[in-house]
Amino acid sequence: MTKDRQIAIALPTVRRLPMYIAVLEKAAQDGQAYMSSPQIAAVLGLEAIQVRKDLEAVGGTGQPRVGFPIRELIAAIETALGWDNATDAFVIGAGHLGTALAGYRGFARYGLSIIALFDTDPRKVGQTVHGKEILHIDKFADLVARLHVHIAILTVPAEAAVEAATRAAEAGIKALWNFTPAKLTPMDGVIIERVDLAASLAVLSSKLSSVVRSAEPAKPEQAGQI
Amino acid sequence: MTKDRQIAIALPTVRRLPMYIAVLEKAAQDGQAYMSSPQIAAVLGLEAIQVRKDLEAVGGTGQPRVGFPIRELIAAIETALGWDNATDAFVIGAGHLGTALAGYRGFARYGLSIIALFDTDPRKVGQTVHGKEILHIDKFADLVARLHVHIAILTVPAEAAVEAATRAAEAGIKALWNFTPAKLTPMDGVIIERVDLAASLAVLSSKLSSVVRSAEPAKPEQAGQI
């Protein structure tokens, strides 16, 4: 029952689940034991009916007039997401972004544990960032197999993305979290999920640039330093 | 002409522009002076016709049989994105993610310069991360006005997102880059662009979890340590 449940959860629900965890944990910290779907919905600006459906999808069972027991509900959501067990991940590309992600302690909250970084640059290989070693990419396939790592976080430059992704797939990586600006073509047996910071910032900059230009057409003011 | 051009660029094109910069810079580093749209397309796995249209949209003019002059083309794309001038930004929320972003040196490449972080936590206020000061949120509105800062990067917890966004809008922030799991409702005169790491990871985890469970139903193997 529990095993089958997760597969049935719709992706829009999956995307909202982390926000519920955040709200529930805050309430637990504040000493609350129960929280109702209208309460959760109010905090997040969502519809109560949507929140209730999402929580029912992970098997949360609320009590009338009381709501959901917070600790149990957090555990149910974490199980649904597979965040109840720490999942090891490798970072491919030890540049600025790979290094920043390796140091982002928030991933621990999501059950994601970055255990090493890989790069081709001999100046980087052998160094340690945030307590994690940078290894040569030639060691990647062997370590994926030995350590049963399923997730690779891709932070190589755009032009190296396709080669790195192919290499990861051949090594047996099952899920690629693609932070490069490159769009990867689907590969058999490999889940690809993309976070494109550069594209997102490009959209923001481009819209902002239009707004600022139309507001201050003559001479944009110079921002100073604190 | 140049002023109007940018407004006309379609968002899908805008999203691809950073990728072209990356490829062009790599080619320039390798000593190339010209690059054709089929060459760029081949590196990125795109259609040449799409690349040519995108590059024409930013005013790039290629020469037959030679291609685009790389340096000029990079400059044209940067102008189109507003990345040719450094844009100052504030980070609201000096937690793990805010701190990681403040230390991400890759933003400099996109003309984005984080000049300070803001938080409400008295234990954080006054500290310095990656050479940037953490200030109390009460100073935010004054500094936005004095320094003409247009962009705020939102990295507060989900339940604090709506309040922080409202505060930023009231202070005169024109663009919010929302890294919180909260979906913000549109506000007049404020551009909102979202990067939801937690949701993206939730989708990845949830799909991976199904794949791994169906492949190893009996007893998932334990990943070890290096």
In this predicted structure, what is the pLDDT of residue A140?
98
Is some CB atom of chain B closer than 8 A to the CB atom of A45?
Answer: yes
In this predicted structure, what is the pLDDT of residue A224?
47
Residue B3, pLDDT > 70, answer no
Number of CB atoms found within 10 A of residue A87's CB = 22
In which residue are the tokens 């993206």 written?
Answer: B200
Chain A residue whose CA is closest to B15 = A199
Closest partner residue to B150 among A23, A195, A208, by Cβ?
A208
Pick A170 or A208 by higher pLDDT.
Answer: A170
In which residue are the tokens 């760029």 written?
Answer: B40
In this predicted structure, what is the pLDDT of residue B2?
45
- Of the pLDDT bands very low, low, confident and very high (cuts 50, 70, 90), residue B144 is very high
Sign of the CA dihedral running A3, A22, A113, B196: positive
DSSP assignment of chain B, as one string? -HHHHHHHS-HHHHHHHHHHHHHHHHHHHTT-SEE-HHHHHHHHT--HHHHHHHHHHTT---BTTTBEEHHHHHHHHHHHHT-SS-EEEEEE--SHHHHHHHT-GGGGGGTEEEEEEEES-TTTTT-EETTEEEEEGGGHHHHHHHHT--EEEE-S-GGGHHHHHHHHHHHT--EEEE-SSSPPPPBTTBEEEE--HHHHHHHHHHHHHHHHHHHS-S-PPPP---
Average pLDDT, chain B: 87
Closest listed residue to residue A19, CA positions, set A43, A48, A49: A43
CA gap B215, A62 in Å, rounded: 33
Closest partner residue to B110 among A116, A177, A201, by Cβ?
A201
Q: Determine the average pLDDT of the residues in B184-201.
A: 90
Question: SS3 of A114, please?
Answer: strand
In this predicted structure, what is the pLDDT of residue B111?
85
Residue A129, pLDDT > 50, answer yes
Residue A78 · residue A55 · CB < 8 Å: no
Pick A139 or B62 by higher pLDDT.
Answer: A139
In this predicted structure, what is the pLDDT of residue A75?
94
In this predicted structure, what is the pLDDT of residue A222?
47
Is residue A114 exposed (0-12), middle (13-18) or buried (19+ Cβ within 10 Å)?
buried
**Model-level pTM?**
0.79
- Of the pLDDT bands very low, low, confident and very high (cuts 50, 70, 90), residue A181 is confident
Residue A216, pLDDT > 80, answer no
Residue A7, pLDDT > 80, answer no
Is some CB atom of chain B closer than 8 A to the CB atom of A222?
Answer: yes
> Between A and B, how many residue pairs show a Cβ–Cβ distance under 8 A?
254
Closest partner residue to B18 among A106, A150, A202, by Cβ?
A202
Contact residues, chain A, for B166 at CB < 8 Å: none
Between residues 104 and 143 of chain A, which touch chain B (CB distance below 8 Å)?
104-107, 110-112, 115-116, 133, 143
CA distances in angstroms from A39 to A19, A20, A69, B199, B212, listed in the order given: 13, 11, 13, 21, 35
Average pLDDT, chain A: 87
CA gap A204, A83 in Å, rounded: 31
* Percentage of residues in chain B having pLDDT higher than 70: 90
Amino acid at A188: D
Sign of the CA dihedral running A10, A15, A19, A22: positive
Cβ-based neighbours of A176, under 8 Å, separated by 6 or more = A151, A152, A154, A165, A168, A169, A184, A190, A191, A192, A193
Is some CB atom of chain B closer than 8 A to the CB atom of A194?
Answer: yes
CA distances in angstroms from A34 to A64, A83, B30, B183, listed in the order given: 11, 22, 61, 24
Residue B132 · residue B116 · CB < 8 Å: yes
Between residues 86 and 105 of chain A, which touch chain B (CB distance below 8 Å)?
87-88, 95-97, 100-101, 103-105
CA A167 vs. chain centroid, Å, equals 22
Residue A4, pLDDT > 70, answer no
Q: Determine the average pLDDT of the residues in B210-222.
A: 57
- Span A9-58, pLDDT tens digits: 898 999 999 989 989 998 999 999 999 999 999 888 889 999 999 999 99
Residue B33 · residue B62 · CB < 8 Å: no
- The values of phi and psi at residue A102, to 5°, are -65, -25
- Span B152-191, pLDDT tens digits: 999 998 888 889 999 999 999 999 999 987 878 889 899 9
Q: What share of chain A is helix, strand, coil (3-state, %, to 5)?
A: 50, 20, 30
Residue A78 · residue A21 · CB < 8 Å: yes
Number of C-alpha atoms within 13 angstroms, CB side, residue A159? 16
Element (H, E) at A198: helix A197-215
